[in-house]
Amino acid sequence: MSVAAPAASYAFKTTNLTRSFAGFKAVNDVSIEIPRGGVRTIIGPNGAGKTTFFNLLSGLLPPSNGHVFFEERDITDLDPYRRARLGIARSFQITNIFNKLTVYENVRLAVQANYDGKANFFLPTRRMGDLHARTAEILRDIGLFDVSGGLAENLSHGDQRRLEIGLVLARDPQVLLLDEPLAGMSPTETHATVELIQRISPGRTILLVEHDIDVVMSISTTITVMQTGQILAVGTPDEIRANEAVQRAYLGGLA
Amino acid sequence: MKSRRAAPWITLVAIAAGLILLPLFMPGGSLDLNPLSGNRFPFHAGFIDLATTVLVFALFALGFNMLFGHSGELSFGHAMFFSIGAYAPALYTKGFKVDIAGLHLHHDATNNGFIALVLALGFVLLWAFLLARLIVPRSSGIYYSMITMAFAQVIYFITFRWSELTGGEDGIQGIARPVLPGLPANWLANSTHFYIFTAVVAFVAIAANYWIVRSPFGSVLHALRENRQRARFLGYDVNRYRVNAFVLSALFPAVGGWLWTYLQQAINPDAGGIDYSGRVVMMSLLGGIGTFVGPMIGAFVYWDIQNSVAQQWKYWPAALGAVFVVFVLAAPAGIAGAFVAFQRYGFANSIRRLFSREARLETDLAEELPAREGGP
């Protein structure tokens, strides 16, 4: 151990993290460190507690017990908007965008959130630096620049999922929590989205919950396997593939 | 790239024109161009007080719409702000003498309309802020509506019961209209003059409201309306915006109440009753919730129907109810919403959309296509 306090080596750390729903422990006494950087994927059968774990990290749910740390800081009691300001951004399993607003307004609002509490919101946006330039940049990044005048609800499912990633990117977050970003996508859309995730991953930590096992094996730095609210195994894709406990519990017929 | 919206000045010029022309569209209103009539203003003033009433309620609806239409939260007690905004200037102007908890409070009659306005806004600001801090973190949806209604009832019963201060059920009468600097003392006693005064105040308030809902703050309100959770996870302090929206939306009914007191030169507890809270919901829905001009159009239509039907038929609320039902069923976006639909789908298609699901799908698809062109 070095003498000087190092910058946190982990993005998230949890200690004895537990969340019960009417006695059922969806996340059960999880103590884990999620290292900085890379694509960290969480897999597990339905009901394993993956989404609940995400909800505890992002603050949607308070834990029943235990703590969540983000880069040495205890964020257990922090409201989601404060976590967002620390650089934690998340997407949801069910697409979560502003349906009745235009694609442009969706992204602009996400970028504008960076100025909440800093700029006077009763004055025109031109005082918010490069708000529009940054919005356009993100729209190009997610490939929706040309359709930005249309309502978000009129986008295809895949485009909506990508729009949500765009919203999540607007704060230039250090950590992204993506909950099944590929769910319901066509092969073409999946390909484009995987490419997008790989493109934005350098310099960031990406936490992924995903069921598409081929994608998981190809883009993950490490894989965490959850089962009945607990961590079953952590390792590189190859290690996980070779892990007998994981094979028994989950991969079974798939691998 | 940005959504299609009229340039700001076009909307404001249109509103100014509407304010000037409104008296002509009231029952009995007409141009008076006869130079011998001795009328310095080209209106027949018979129903001009009704036009003033429309403006008062337009301001009331404007504030309500900022909350319900723009940020998506239904307050079922906004009449409390109208009432406080009306009673504060009434008491200030008339004076009062009360003994409360051993204190003898005494204020002589005064006549400064602008201090009265500051008092109306000040009391409403304070009350709305305390209330919002109390209810915003604790409730949303139907509970929010019920709690706002409950607090409005508190204000209502204070005005109803505290006879010593408020005159109880009878209210306060004989309130003098304010004197405007540089004008004769009784200038505002004339209905037309009072309409002009109201229209000027209304224009300033409408412009301020327009500025707010189009500002980045207004965009955040739209974000809250569409998806509060998403806004929160983007880093917006959602409850702070909800409190601010509540307080700002309370100020417009306060201005309306202030004018209402002077228009009627009397005030009674009805101003804060459930009936008024409900009326403003009805006006907003009728005119078009969430559109900028809709609720003001709603106020106009409401009073026009009430006055034209009430003279012929004593069951006039039934007529109003029928119109309301037709709108809720056929045009939930209200009158302004119907115009938006005409502009978007064409008149014939808009009517077809009412009756045929296929027509709706067809026109939606046509709407969607331009947005997809040139996509990835």
Interchain proximity B217–A150, CB inside 8 Å: no
pLDDT of B183-202, one tens digit each? Answer: 888 888 888 889 999 999 99
Top mean pLDDT of A157-166, B327-336, B358-367 is at A157-166
Q: pLDDT at residue B327 above 70?
A: yes
Nearest CA-CA partner of A225 in A213, B54, A215, B353: A213
pLDDT of residue B176: 85
Does A1 map to a domain? no
pLDDT of residue A127: 65
How does DSSP assign A164-201, residue by residue?
HHHHHHTT--SEEEEESTTTT--HHHHHHHHHHHHHH-
Does A3 map to a domain? no
Interchain proximity A119–B216, CB inside 8 Å: yes
A89 interaction partners in chain B (CB closer than 8 Å) = 233-234
Ordered structural domains, chain B, with CATH: 8-315 (1.10.3470)
Q: A residues 108-137 near B, CB within 8 Å?
A: 108-110, 112-117, 119, 121-125, 128
pLDDT of residue B62: 93
pLDDT of B40-56, one tens digit each? Answer: 555 555 578 888 999 99
pLDDT of B142-166, one tens digit each? Answer: 999 999 999 999 999 998 888 878 8
B119-146: average pLDDT: 92
Of A79, A97, A154, the CB nearest to B371: A154
By the 8 A CB rule, do B47 and B27 touch?
yes
B236 interaction partners in chain A (CB closer than 8 Å) = 81, 113, 116
Q: Say yes or no: A102 contacts chain B, CB-CB below 8 A.
A: yes
Residue with tokens 């703590």: A67
Top mean pLDDT of B128-137, B166-175, B344-353 is at B128-137
Q: Quote the strand ranges of B239-354, DSSP E.
A: 266-267
By the 8 A CB rule, do B277 and B79 touch?
yes
Q: pLDDT at residue B116 above 60?
A: yes
Does A5 map to a domain? no
Interchain proximity A81–B237, CB inside 8 Å: yes
pLDDT of residue B375: 37
Q: How far apart are CA B218 and CA B70, in angstroms?
A: 7
Instruction: Report residue B247 as tokens.
Output: 């307080």
Does A124 map to a domain? yes
Task: State how many domains chain A has.
Answer: 1
Does A27 map to a domain? yes
Q: Is B66 strand, coil or helix? A: helix
By the 8 A CB rule, do B62 and B98 touch?
no
Residues of chain A where predicted confidence (pLDDT) is lower than 70: 1-8, 125-128, 250-255
SS (H, E, C) B110-123: CCCHHHHHHHHHHH
Nearest-by-CA chain A residue for B211: A122
Does A74 map to a domain? yes
What CATH number is associated with residue A25? Answer: 3.40.50.300
pLDDT of residue B256: 95
Structural domain containing residue A202: 10-251
Q: Of the ranges A179-183, B218-222, B353-357, which one carries the lowest mean pLDDT score?
A: B353-357
pLDDT of residue B372: 42
Q: pLDDT at residue B92 above 50?
A: yes
What's the pLDDT band for B291 if we cut at 50, 70, 90?
confident
Q: A residues 48-67 near B, CB within 8 Å?
A: 58, 60
Interchain proximity B233–A80, CB inside 8 Å: yes
Q: How far apart are CA B24 and CA A97, in angstroms?
A: 45
Nearest CA-CA partner of A88 in A39, A54, A111, A64: A54
Q: Using a pLDDT cut of 90, give the percent of chain B over it.
A: 34
Nearest CA-CA partner of B270 in B176, B155, B177, B178: B155
How does DSSP assign A199-211, residue by residue?
HH-TTSEEEEE--
